[in-house]
């Protein structure tokens, strides 16, 4: 069983706020961890310790910072199996998915360690004789990072990596459903990163609010729901902290034509059901040209039926449970609402009973047919293994459906027609566009969204510097 308080400075300290427990979502009667939450007073101590550590860290040459951070990543890789197991135990995803999450996190982190050596500064021409102009970037300061339960290592590392590489200190508040992995990350940092540079504040909404509201926080990065993102945005604005918000999605795959329909549907099903659909980049809408509707619907239903639900630690499991009872109730309610509005449940549409795992938070992979763009299941984020199928007759209708939601995170198009591809690239109102493959991003590409799916700089990639550093115009007279 995991047992942690809060990492303040370089020591684990019992929290002064109310404690909490985590459970295995496949076996909710099984307690996995016990934690104590940080109080507002302890958050203040963390901010002070972070500021002190950051003052020394920012003075370290950037290339050396990158080398130190690379050793930290090696320490995480050495604990890969323990980290993967912690993910499966608290989050529920199959162990193979958890292992892949750890490895992708490390690959992204190594790319960001290299960014530390690149500087992101510019030499600019001068408008006046006898002058040299430059644009410099400096570390922002103390970063607050609030992360969700669906990717217990990937999302924290997407925030830790650029924060540390660019010379900042960071205080991480992981989800209260999956804090074990974050605590193991912090353990890997001990003896590698300077004390106070990476701290962990466990707790729920009150702990998060105290952290975001601290005047010593220079930047707030959050991944989660739009509703929570709005509250964090407002709280951070009270002391003018910079924000980077990665919020929800209602992602669509448009199938116009497909050279290999089976391969297309394989990728869509994976993108929809990985992590039991609890991914901000999950495909939840399939927008299909009407002549392909029957074949696409039949193929999706058949693939949904292949899923093997079970405990993520058991061999053969291809889809784990939803992470908590609240999420199971939400997915169930949204599918029921869709059915009342006229959507047809073609398969699934219910919680699933898995032998030997009674009470687990399992939901059957679901395909909804006859979905209209106005239905709630076509507009609202469900965050579960649910695919809504919508038909279109022409491209104008397809793009109206694709863009007719408040979100703009990611989208996919399957087509061999170059003119259709070009129109998709020009018109899809999403931060990430995929052509003829699912919505899995590369380790070095900017990751983020537009519209209600994001605010501020994207995570990963060179553009992360826009959040984790501040910009300074420099004028030097040399005559």
Active site residues: 246, 280
What DSSP string runs through 332-376? HHHHHHHHHTT-EEEE--SB---TT-TT---B--EEEES--TTSH
Chain Cα centroid distance, residue 445: 14
Instruction: Supply φ then ψ for residue 436, to 5 degrees.
Output: 65, 30
**119 vs 3, 34, 115, 466, 470, CA distance in Å?**
39, 41, 7, 12, 12
Burial 16-41 (b: 16+ CB within 10 A, else e): ebeebebbbbbbbeeebbebbbbbee
**406 vs 307, 379, 451, CA distance in Å?**
31, 8, 6
Q: What angle do CA 304, 310, 311 make, to 5 degrees?
A: 145
Tokens of 177: 């459903």
Tokens of 239: 């002391």
Which residues sit opposite 3 in a β-bridge?
34
Closest CA to 469 of 120, 146, 161: 120
Distance CA 54, CA 58 (A): 6
Residue 214's CB: how many other CB atoms inside 10 A?
23
CB 25 within 8 Å of CB 323: yes
* Length of the chain, in residues: 479
CB 452 within 8 Å of CB 252: no
Tokens of 256: 């116009």
């Amino acid at each position: 069983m995991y047992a942690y308080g809060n990492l303040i400075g370089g020591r684990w300290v019992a929290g002064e706020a109310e404690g909490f427990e985590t459970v295995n979502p496949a076996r909710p009667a099984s307690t996995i961890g016990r934690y104590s939450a940080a109080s507002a007073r302890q958050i203040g101590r963390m901010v002070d310790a972070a500021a002190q550590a950051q003052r020394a860290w920012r003075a370290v040459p950037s290339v050396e910072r990158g080398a130190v951070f690379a050793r930290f990543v090696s320490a995480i890789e050495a604990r890969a199996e323990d980290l993967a197991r912690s993910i499966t135990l608290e989050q529920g995803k199959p162990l193979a998915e958890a292992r892949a999450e750890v490895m992708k996190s490390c690959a992204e982190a190594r790319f960001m360690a290299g960014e530390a050596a690149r500087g992101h500064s510019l030499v600019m021409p001068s408008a006046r004789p006898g002058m040299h102009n430059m644009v410099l970037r400096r570390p922002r300061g103390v970063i607050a990072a609030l992360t969700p339960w669906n990717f217990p290592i990937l999302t924290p590392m997407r925030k830790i990596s650029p924060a540390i590489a660019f010379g900042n200190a960071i205080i991480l508040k992981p989800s209260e459903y999956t804090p074990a992995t974050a605590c193991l990350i912090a353990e890997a940092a001990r003896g590698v990163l300077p004390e106070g540079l990476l701290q962990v504040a466990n707790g729920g909404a009150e702990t998060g609010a105290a952290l975001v509201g601290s005047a010593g926080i220079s930047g707030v990065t959050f991944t989660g729901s739009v509703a929570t993102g709005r509250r964090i945005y407002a709280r951070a604005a009270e002391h003018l902290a910079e924000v980077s918000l990665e919020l929800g999605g209602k992602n669509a795959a448009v199938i116009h034509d497909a050279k290999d329909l089976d391969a297309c549907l394989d990728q869509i099903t994976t993108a929809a059901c990985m992590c039991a659909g609890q991914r901000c980049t999950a495909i939840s809408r399939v927008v299909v040209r009407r002549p392909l509707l029957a074949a696409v619907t039949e193929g999706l239903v058949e693939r949904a039926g292949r899923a093997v639900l079970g405990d993520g630690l058991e061999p053969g499991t291809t889809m784990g449970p939803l992470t908590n009872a609240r999420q199971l109730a939400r997915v169930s309610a949204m599918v029921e609402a869709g059915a009342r509005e006229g959507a047809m449940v073609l398969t699934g549409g219910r919680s699933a009973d898995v032998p030997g795992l009674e009470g687990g938070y399992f939901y059957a992979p679901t395909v909804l047919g006859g979905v209209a763009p106005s239905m709630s299941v076509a507009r609202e984020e469900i965050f579960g293994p649910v695919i809504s199928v919508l038909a279109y007759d022409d491209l104008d209708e397809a793009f109206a459906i694709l863009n007719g939601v408040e979100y703009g995170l990611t989208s996919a198009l399957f087509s061999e027609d170059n003119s259709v591809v070009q129109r998709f690239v020009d018109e899809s109102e999403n931060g990430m566009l995929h052509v003829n493959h699912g919505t899995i991003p590369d380790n070095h590409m900017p990751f983020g969204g537009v519209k209600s799916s994001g605010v501020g700089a994207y995570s990963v990639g060179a553009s992360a510097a826009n959040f984790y550093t501040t910009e300074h115009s420099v004028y030097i007279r040399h005559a």
